[in-house]
Amino acid sequence: MNPRLRFAPSPTGYVHIGGLRTALYNYLYAKQNEGTYLIRVEDTDQTRFVEGAIEGMINSMQWAGVVHDEGPFIDEATHHIVEKGDFGPYIQSHRLELYKKHSDRLIESGHAYHCFCTKERLEQVREKQKSEGLTPKYDGHCRELSKAEVDEKLAAGLPHVVRLKLPTGRVIEFNDAIKGHIAVNTDDMDDQVLMKTDGLPTYHMAVVVDDHFMGITHVVRGDEWLISTPKHIYTYEAFGWEAPQFVHLPVILGQSKKKLSKREGDVSVEDFKRKGYLPEALINYIALVGWSPDDGEEIMDMQTLINKFSFDRVSKSSGVFDVEKLNWMNNQYIRNYDLDQLTVLSKSYFVESGFASDSEFDEKFAKYKNIVDILRERLNKLNEISDYYNLFNVNTIVLEDDEAREMIELPHVPSMLRCFSAKVAEIDAITADDVKRLLKEVQKETGHKGKDLFMPVRVALTGQVHGPDIAKVMEIIGTTNTIERIEYSIQNLCAE
C-alpha cells in the first residue's frame, strides 16, 4: 500500500509556521513515495472555532505550494468549501456519528467506561494528589461501576464523559521514527476522556478513528503529542486495528530558545506572505529548520526537497527560527526569480507605498519591471520596495549621512555637476547607456574620475553614497527629474 499522510489542523485562527513545516514534511514524504497527502479539519472543539479559518488555512497552503490530494477545497465558482476524496468527510464535525458508534463499541468490549464525576470532585482529587506530591490524574472512581449503576445514572440524565479504560501495570512500547524506542507504563498514565459531556469526541478519540478509517500509514505531528501516543496505541489495540508509524517532530524555537510565538515576531504564514516573502523561499527555509540533506545543500526547490527528504535526518532537538537566515534565503530567490512574475508579485507593494495606482502600474508595467530589476539584489522581502519611494519620486534630496555630506561638499563638485547637467539637458529621453557616455565626457572635460566623479553625482541625485545603479535610476526618473535634482543639490547641498 502506498503511504497516506495527513495534516490535521484545528480551525482556531492562522496557520502557524510550525504547522506549515508539519504539513510540508507530510507532503514531502508522501510525494517522494508516490503516496497521498490529505488535509483533515479537526473542528470538534467548537468553542475555539474561528470563522473563515478553514478557508484561510486552505489559501495559505495553496500559496505555499503544499497542495493536498484529498480533503476540503475552495470551489472556484462558488467560493464554498467542498470536500474531495474517497475517505471523507474530511471535516470532523461531519463525522460525529462515527465517533459515537465506536465509543459505544469500546464500552461494550470493556475498553472504556462512563464517568459521572463532577468537575468539583475532579478538582478536589487533583488538589489532594498535588498536596501528596503525586502526579495529578483521574483516580478511577467510576471504573468499576456496575452496569445497573451506569444505567440508573444514564436514565437520570446525569452529565458524563466516556473514558479509556487502561490496563494496570502494562508497559506500552513503540518505535518513533525520530524519537526512537518509547516505553511507558500504564500506571503512569491517565484514563483519557474520549467523549465529552456534550457528546463530542476529544482529540484522542477522533484522531484514532479518523486515522484508521482514512487509511493513514504515518502520523507526523508535533512532539507535544508524544506523551499521548501510548494511549492512542492502546486505543488501536482495543479496536483490533493496526497502529500507523508515528513520527514526532521537535518544536520550532524563537531566538529566545523558547517555543516560537507572536511575542517574538511573525509566526503565521499570512504574516510572511504579507511582508513579501516568496513562497518558494519560505518553504525552502522552513524545511531546513530541523532537517538537512546529507549533501548540505541549502537552496532547493520543491522537487529537490521531495527527492532529498528523509525522516532519518530530522533532528531530535528543536530548531531555531532565524529571521536573518530566512531574509538571506528570500533575497537569493528574489535575485533569481522570473522578472515578469516577480514584478506582478510586487504590484501591491508599489500601489500601497504610493508609487502608482492599480491602473497606472498596469499601464507602465515596463517601468516598474525595470525598478524591480534595479532593486532585486537589495530586497530581503518585497515590502522593502516602499523604502525606495523617495529614490524614484522625490526631487528634493535629503543627505543620508555624514559621508554623503562630505562628498557633496567637495570643492570641485558644483562645476562638475553643472557640466554633467548641461549634457543631460541635450537628451530628451535619457537612457542608462547615455549616462555612461556622458560621464566619460565629463571625466575628459573636468579631469575628475573614479569616486570623485561618480559618488558626487550619485549623492546629488539620491542623497546616498551607495545604492542601485545610478545610470539605470536616471533612465527611470528621466531627463527633467534628473536636472531638477542636480539643480536642487547645487543650490542647497553643495558648498559654494
| Catalytic-role residue among 258, 262, 316, 436 | 262
What does each C-alpha distance from 159 to 97, 206, 207, 263, 365 come to in angstroms?
Answer: 19, 21, 24, 39, 66
Taking the C-alpha atoms of residue 176 and residue 87, their distance in angstroms, rounded to an integer, is 26
As given in the structure block, the three cell numbers for residue 102 are: 465506536
Hey, how many other C-beta atoms are within 10 angstroms of the C-beta on 262?
12
Residue 234 · residue 172 · CB < 8 Å: yes
Q: CA-CA distance, 263 to 265, in Å (whole number)?
A: 6
- Torsion, Cα of 201, 202, 207, 210 (10° steps): 10
- Residues 314, 320, 324, 326, CA torsion sign: positive
Residue at 157: amino acid letter: G
What is the C-alpha to C-alpha distance for residues 160 and 61, in angstroms, rounded to an integer? 38
Burial class (CB in 10 A: 0-12, 13-18, 19+), 223: middle
Helix (H, G, I), strand (E, B) or coil at 71: strand
89 upstream amide cis, omega within 30 of 0: yes
Count CB-CB contacts under 10 A for residue 406: 13
Q: Please list, in sequence order, all residues whose beta carbon lies within 8 angstroms of the beta carbon of residue 236, skipping any fewer than 6 positions away.
A: 208, 212, 242, 243
Name the grid cell of 124.
478536589
The Cα 152–Cα 133 span in angstroms is: 36
Q: What is the 3-state secondary structure (H, E, C) of 180-191?
A: EEEEEEHHHCCC
| 262 annotated active-site | yes
Active centre residues (catalytic): 262
